[in-house]
Each structure stands twice: as structure tokens, then as C-alpha cells.
């Protein structure tokens, strides 16, 4: 591992040395080539078709509004949790609410009459 | 960002608390027509009910339309008695109702039959049975 790193460093050092000693006309040609490449890339970006670029468009929109979108997602999560909690506790009694107890075939008195339980045990 | 989310959550809770406080304490005159129709047996005593009792009763009014006509009649018949029970009795009834709900259909039917038979016993006999077992904490689950 160390040997590989050393080897890479050596390559970088030699490349740097070579770059420093490039002839001015070579440097000029490289600069021009780079400029052309950048121009071509910029042109390709601006000519990207609308449909194909939808994802890229959404991606760039997300990157630009990352902070506010994350906040919106967080608030949505808080709201969702709140609604679910309300349903599961509080008012969300479902078929177990007092209304269903009162509507049960057995009246509430049956649940509370100790004599009924004594009698059941005797049966 | 986290602080903003926490603030938003707290605001939401505060808004809910305010809304609940307002909805828990409506006077009889503030109830809508369908609530008044369901809670009619309590009309005379509504304004002296505690806020939490009113909330429970409003829950009943909310669930009422989901019921069959037969169930609705039962609710109407039992509502006044229910509202006059102590919180302890109501809580006990809720627990036992849950236990009843967990019974098999056969056991439920048997229990209903037993209740009808028990109702036909002379009052003196029922009173004697009550004295035998003054503890109403006995649960239906004990009878399985």
C-alpha cells in the first residue's frame, strides 16, 4: 500500500516537472484546447432537450432549494406523525369508543353488576 | 432547521390544545343540530356537565351516525344513565366491554343469555348475589 502511494507520488512529481518545462507554444495549444472543450460542454448543456432534462431540472431545483425542501419534508413528517397519533389515541376510539359500549348487546349495568358475576360463577 | 421544526411542532400542539379547549366546552346552545338530536336525553343537564364529560359525550355523538338504527336506539336509551355514572364505574365498564369484545361469538351469546336469565331473577335474589361479591373489579376474563 505504501509502495503504491510512493509510486503515485513519484508519477505526480514527474508530471509536475514536465508541465513546468513545457514549451510556450505547447502551453498555448493546451489552453486553446481547454477553452474549446469548455465551450463545447457549455453548448451541449444549453441544447439539452426539455423532456430528457426533466430529471436534471428537478435535480438542480432540489439542489438550489435543498434547505427549504428539507424543512418542508420535516414539517410534513411532523404533521403526519401528529395525525397518526391523533387517530391512534385521543379521539380515534374506533369501535372501542363509549358510543359502541352503549350500543353493545350487553348494557353497561351488566358489566358493573357484581351480583351478575357471582351468579355466573355459581352456574 | 431542527429548531424551526420544533417550533412548528409546538405551534401545532398549541393550536390543537386551543381548538380542543374550545370544542370541549360548548354549551347546549352551541351544539349543532345533529349533536343535539343524539344527546337529547342529556339536554337538561348538559350545561352542568364537566368539560371532559362533554368531550366524551361529543365523541358518542360523533360515532352515532356509524351505527345501525338498533344500536342508535340502545345508545339513546342508555345515555342518561351513563352520564350519571361515576368516572370509576365508567372506566370499569370500558375495561369489561373490552374483555367482552375479546370473547368468541359463542361466549358472547352465552353471556347475553345469562344476563337475560339474571334479569329475570327476583330482585331479592340479585341483591343477595351482590352482597356475596361486592367487588366490581371482577373481570369477564375471569369467567373464561
Inform me whether the C-beta atom of residue B84 falls under 8 Å from chain A C-beta atoms. Answer: no
The span from the CA of B102 to the CA of A62, in Å, is 51
Give the largest CA-CA distance in chain A: 113
The distance of Cα A65 from the centroid of its chain, to the nearest Å, equals: 13
From A87's Cα to the closest Cα of chain B, the distance in A is 13
Cβ under 8 Å to B: A residues 54-93: 67, 70-71, 74-75, 78-79, 82, 91, 93
pLDDT, position A92: 44
Nearest to B142 by CA among B90, B95, B109, B106: B95
The span from the CA of B59 to the CA of B65, in Å, is 11
The span from the CA of B60 to the CA of B64, in Å, is 6
pTM above threshold 0.80: no
pLDDT, position A72: 84
Q: Which residues contact A110 (CB under 8 A, 6 or more apart)?
A: A116, B115
Instruction: Note whether A115 contacts B75, CB cutoff 8 Å.
Output: no
- Provide, as residue numbers in chain B, all residues whose Cβ is less than 8 Å from the Cβ of A74: 1-2, 5
pLDDT tens sequence for chain A (123 residues):
678 888 888 888 888 888 778 888 888 888 899 889 989 888 887 765 555 566 766 777 777 777 787 888 888 888 787 666 655 554 444 567 899 999 999 999 998 898 998 888 888
- B89-112, pLDDT tens digit by residue? 999 999 999 999 999 999 999 999
Inform me whether the C-beta atom of residue A104 falls under 8 Å from chain B C-beta atoms. Answer: yes
Amino acid at each position: 500500500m505504501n509502495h503504491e502511494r510512493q509510486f503515485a507520488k513519484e508519477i505526480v512529481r514527474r508530471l509536475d516537472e514536465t508541465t513546468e518545462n513545457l514549451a510556450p507554444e505547447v502551453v498555448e495549444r493546451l489552453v486553446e484546447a481547454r477553452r474549446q472543450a469548455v465551450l463545447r460542454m457549455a453548448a451541449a448543456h444549453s441544447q439539452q432537450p426539455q423532456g430528457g432534462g426533466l430529471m436534471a431540472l428537478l435535480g438542480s431545483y432540489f439542489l438550489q432549494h435543498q434547505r427549504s425542501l428539507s424543512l418542508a419534508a420535516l414539517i410534513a413528517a411532523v404533521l403526519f406523525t401528529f395525525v397518526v397519533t391523533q387517530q391512534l389515541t385521543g379521539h380515534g376510539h374506533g369501535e372501542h369508543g363509549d358510543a359502541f359500549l352503549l350500543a353493545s348487546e350487553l348494557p353497561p349495568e351488566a358489566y358493573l353488576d357484581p351480583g351478575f358475576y357471582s351468579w355466573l360463577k355459581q352456574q | 432547521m431542527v429548531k424551526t421544526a420544533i417550533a412548528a411542532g409546538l405551534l401545532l400542539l398549541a393550536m390543537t390544545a386551543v381548538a380542543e379547549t374550545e370544542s370541549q366546552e360548548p354549551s347546549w346552545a352551541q351544539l349543532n343540530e345533529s349533536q343535539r338530536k343524539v344527546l337529547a336525553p342529556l339536554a337538561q343537564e348538559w350545561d352542568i356537565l364537566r368539560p371532559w364529560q362533554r368531550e366524551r359525550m361529543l365523541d358518542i355523538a360523533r360515532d352515532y351516525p356509524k351505527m345501525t338504527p338498533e344500536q342508535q336506539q340502545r345508545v339513546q336509551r342508555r345515555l342518561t344513565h351513563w352520564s350519571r355514572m361515576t368516572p370509576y364505574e365508567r372506566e370499569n365498564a370500558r375495561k369489561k366491554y373490552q374483555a367482552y369484545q375479546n370473547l368468541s361469538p359463542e361466549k358472547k351469546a352465552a353471556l347475553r343469555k345469562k344476563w337475560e336469565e339474571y334479569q329475570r331473577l327476583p330482585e331479592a335474589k340479585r341483591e343477595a348475589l351482590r352482597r356475596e361479591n361486592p367487588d366490581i373489579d371482577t373481570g369477564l376474563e375471569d369467567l373464561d
